Amino acid sequence: MVRKIGVLTSGGDAPGMNAAIRSVTRVALNNGLEVYGIYDGYKGLLEGRMMKMERSSVSDILSRGGTILGSARLPEFKEDEIQDKCIEHLKENGIDALVVIGGDGSYRGALALTKKGINCIGLPGTIDNDISGSDLTIGFDTALNTCVECVDKLRDTSSSHHRCSIVEVMGNHCGDLALYTAISCGAEMVITPETGYDELEVLEKLRYLDNAVHKSHAIVIVSEKTTDVQALASKISQNTGFSGRATVLGHIQRGGSPTPADRMLASRMGEKAVDLLMDGIGGHCVGIMENEIISLPIAEALERPRKSRKKLYRLFDRLY
């Protein structure tokens, strides 16, 4: 029977991680479990840095971005000996199960620990929305709100100067943040890993928008890692009637107070994680599908193909 659980946040932080820590802590305490907060992800676990969580340890954090536990990346965590050391620290402290809040890399770590006898449950904490076992990840909605607010502002100044704003958004190798931003802002174009990048096509479309549609501005949303946005902005200035300007939104997308949708999602998922551990289940991750909180084996979530966004890309095209 599980008596003491640990909770950690790992990989890139995401708004709503604190809400998830709070939920895990409060639900576990209310069920008579002890809870330990582990600092800085697997790095803190390796160094044995943790604190006993009380009800008050998670007071006033629901509305705060970031993670009170800190997050880190520890590439060496893939190694057997490092994982074994982490397990020693858990055992020394009597911790028999763990909630890992992070992305797919963190899930792989959670699966490795489960295989070595420590039941772990993964919660999808990442702004990228790139976890196949869940329609949504904790932090995505807040990051999307930030992107939309920024792009709306860029549109104002772009219109005044007959400019084309190239806006780079995060997402790692997933185009969701770019696509949802593009639809929500009525962007002229969206470039993601799913659409691919064709420079001539972009320039041709912008010339058409300028000469035939007489647009005062154009907004192109670009997923990070698909093309060099500064170079594209120069090409636009040289080859179309718009002056091109690139804006990289960067880490601003990772901060800020989580939206109510992210607070709800994190609270519901945290509860589910504790329930699973109390049922003696490990190696699973929590997701939301059709507004139901679900769980599935991490191995299955990691292998599933990414959700198809064909319908949303079609919508984007049809809205233009």
Q: Name the site residues for ligand ADP (rule: CB under 6 A).
A: 10-12, 42, 73-75, 77-78, 102-106, 108-109, 112, 126
For residue 91, what are its two tokens? 């055992």
Residue 175 in the binding site for ligand F6P (CB under 6 A): no
Q: Of 106 and 146, which has the nearer Cβ to ligand ADP?
A: 106
Would you call 66 helix, strand, or coil by DSSP? coil
Q: Of 44 and 171, which has the nearer Cβ to ligand F6P?
A: 171
140-160 vs 176-185: helix crossing angle, rounded to 10: 50
**Binder among 2, 82, 121, 127 for ligand F6P (CB under 6 A):** 127
7 — alpha (psi -120 to 50), left (phi > 0) or beta? Answer: beta
| C-alpha span between 115 and 298 (Å, rounded) | 11
**Binder among 15, 44, 103, 258 for ligand F6P (CB under 6 A):** 103
Comparing every residue's Cβ against ligand ADP, the nearest one is 105
317 — alpha (psi -120 to 50), left (phi > 0) or beta? Answer: alpha
| Residue 10 interacts with which of ligand F6P, ligand ADP, none, CB < 5 to 8 Å by class | ligand ADP
Q: Which of 10, 9, 29, 11 is nearest to 19 (CA)?
A: 9
Give the alpha-carbon dihedral of 299, 301, 304, 309, to 10 degrees. Answer: -160
Residue 254 in the binding site for ligand F6P (CB under 6 A): yes
Query: Minimal distance in Å, beta carbon 172 to ligand F6P?
Result: 4
Residue 12 in the binding site for ligand F6P (CB under 6 A): yes
Q: Of 71 and 158, which has the nearer Cβ to ligand F6P?
A: 71
Q: Of 22-30, 60-68, 124-132, 277-285, which part binds ligand F6P (CB under 6 A)?
A: 124-132
Burial 44-82, CB ≥16 within 10 A → b, else e: bbbeeebeebeeebbeebbebbbbbbbbbebeebeeeeb
Q: Which of 210, 137, 234 is nearest to 180 (CA)?
A: 137
| Annotation marks residue 96 as catalytic | no
| Residue 64 interacts with which of ligand ADP, ligand F6P, none, CB < 5 to 8 Å by class | none
Residue 40 in the binding site for ligand F6P (CB under 6 A): no
| C-alpha span between 238 and 261 (Å, rounded) | 43
Q: Which of 13, 40, 96, 128 is catalytic?
A: 128
Query: Minimal distance in Å, beta carbon 21 to ligand ADP?
Result: 16
Q: How far is CA 284 from the centre of its chain?
A: 18
Q: Which amino acid, 211?
A: N
Q: Of 104 and 210, which has the nearer Cβ to ligand F6P?
A: 104
Q: Of 9 and 165, which has the nearer Cβ to ligand ADP?
A: 9
**Binder among 138, 170, 229, 265 for ligand F6P (CB under 6 A):** 170
* Residues designated as active site: 128
Q: Which residues bind ligand F6P (CB under 6 A)?
A: 12, 103, 126-128, 170-172, 224, 254
